[in-house]
């Protein structure tokens, strides 16, 4: 990674079983998994259910930073994991500098994902 990229991210480690963020909370960071695995879970009447697993190279937590809506699921480290963390402010700077059409498309994509995830 070059100096500009490493200045953009911070590294954070999560021990197995650590809740990275919880469903319904405000998104302040997005995460790029460098090592380990993260489960994305939804609360149902009978407890937490995995809806996806993010492995090395995967991104999670970005939607709440793009559309400012609460987190639609929680993220839990399945194994010890190391992630590159991007703060809301840093992502917002990049989005503000992006083409308005691209920003609009990103918001539409996030809205579509949220509506599909909410469907029964």
For CA atoms 108, 113, 117, 120, the dihedral sign is positive
Give the tokens for residue 44: 């149902």
- Bridging pattern class, strands 81-87 and 29-35: antiparallel
What helix, strand, coil percent values describe the chain, rounded to 5? Answer: 35, 35, 30
Q: At 41, which helix (H) or strand (E)?
A: strand 38-44
Residue 19 CA to residue 41 CA, distance in Å, equals 10
Query: Digits of tens for pLDDT over the chain (120 positions)?
Result: 555 555 678 999 999 999 999 999 999 999 999 999 999 999 999 999 999 999 999 999 999 998 889 999 999 999 999 999 999 999 888 888 989 999 899 889 988 988 887 666
For residue 82, give its domain range.
Answer: 3-118
Q: Looking at residue 2, what is its pLDDT?
A: 54
Q: Identify the pLDDT of residue 91.
A: 86
Whose CA is closest to 16, among 63, 81, 61? 81
pTM to 2 decimal places:
0.84
DSSP letters along 15-32, please? -TT-EEE-TTSPP-EEEE
Domain count, the chain: 1
Angle at 72 (CA atoms; ends 66, 73), nearest 5 degrees: 120
Task: Report the CATH number at residue 40.
Answer: 2.60.120.10
Query: By three-state DSSP, how is residue 81 classified?
Result: strand
């Amino acid at each position: 990674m070059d100096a500009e990229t490493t200045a953009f991210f911070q590294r954070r480690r999560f021990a197995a079983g650590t809740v990275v963020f919880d469903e319904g909370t405000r998104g302040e960071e997005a995460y790029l998994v460098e090592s380990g695995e993260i489960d994305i879970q939804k609360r149902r009447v009978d407890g937490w259910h995995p809806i996806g697993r993010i492995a090395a190279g995967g991104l999670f937590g970005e939607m709440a930073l793009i559309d400012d809506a609460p987190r639609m699921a929680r993220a839990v480290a399945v194994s010890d994991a190391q992630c590159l963390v991007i703060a809301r402010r840093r992502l917002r700077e990049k989005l503000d500098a992006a083409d308005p059409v691209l920003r609009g498309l990103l918001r539409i994509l996030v809205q579509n994902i949220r509506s599909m995830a909410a469907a029964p």
